[in-house]
Amino acid sequence: MKTVLIDYGAGNLHSVYKALLKAGLEAKRSADPALAAAADVLVLPGQGHFRQVMEAFLSSGFEPVVRRHLARGKPFLGICVGLQLLMQSSEEAPGVPGLGILDGIVKRFADPSVSVPQMGWNQFFSYGNPPLLKGIPDGSFAYFANSYYVDFSDSNPGAITHYGKTSFKSVVSQGHLHATQFHPEKSQAVGLKILANFKDIAQHVLNASVL
């Protein structure tokens, strides 16, 4: 199972790479779109300002690779801003379009009762039996570092997190497409279990596509 961790110049790549290996995913870190185009599995991290991250991603040459990968139903994992990039747009960078893979926008926390950015541990609560969270107790904690959150409605399995008066989607887990707003690589045993689940999901998706 050829797994590529996309290196487009943005993201906490070293920690993500180490966590993927520890979870059993023999990933290769690569800045080469051609290598990613031949991959079975793609992992897209992201960290920083939406405009800067999107511009780096677009100039890297990975955009058409990711779009084709998703269109073919191949396993994909987005992390933090790697989830936000899938949206249509972000309040952090008005006028800068996202990839539009998911029909939603990225909003800034507006509750004055909480600190922004959200930095540290918070709970997530699953619904719809998301495969990415298989075997993980509801209400488990993960590590967040975000001032913005994705806002969209769908009927697919996932998880929500509450921060002050705001409830937002913190996990997307639908078929071959999976993403987290939090950082699995910083979430200790829970994060490693999520990455191990993703490995199992990816193997299942790939086996099913061969049959």
Residue extents of the structural domains in the chain = 3-210
Please state, for a pLDDT cut of 70, what percent of the chain lies above it. 99
> DSSP string covering the chain, please?
--EEEE-SS-S-HHHHHHHHHHTT--EEEE--HHHHHT-SEEEE---S-HHHHHHHHHHHT-HHHHHHHHHTT--EEEETHHHHTTSSEETTSTT-----SSS-EEEE---TTS-SSEEEEEE-EEES--GGGTT--TT-EEEEEESEEEE---SS-EEEEEETTEEEEEEEEETTEEEESSBGGGSHHHHHHHHHHHHHHHHHHHHHHH-
Residue 210 has pLDDT above 70, yes or no: no
| Lowest mean pLDDT across 12-16, 122-126, 144-148, 162-166 | 12-16
The whole-number pLDDT of residue 152 equals 87
Give me the pLDDT at residue 11, please.
Answer: 65
pLDDT score of 96 more than 60: yes
Mean local confidence (pLDDT), 83-92: 96
The tens digit of pLDDT for each residue in 17-35 reads 999 999 999 999 999 999 9
pLDDT digits 0-9 by tens, 32-53 = 999 999 999 999 998 889 999 9
Span 127-178, pLDDT tens digits = 999 999 999 999 999 999 999 999 988 778 999 999 999 999 999 998 999 9
- Token couple for 69: 């990968």
| The pLDDT of residue 9 | 85
* Local confidence band at 190 (pLDDT 50, 70, 90 cut-offs): very high
Structure pTM?
A: 0.96
Pick the CATH number of 3-210 from 3.40.50.2300, 3.40.50.880, 3.40.1210.10, 3.55.50.30: 3.40.50.880
Q: Would the pLDDT of 124 be above 80? A: yes
Range from 10-14, 33-37, 56-60, 142-146 carrying the lowest mean pLDDT: 10-14
Q: What per-residue confidence (pLDDT) applies to 48?
A: 87
> What distance, in Å, lies between the first and last C-alpha atoms of the chain?
16
* Predicted local distance difference test score (pLDDT) of residue 211: 46
Active-site residue set: 80, 183, 185
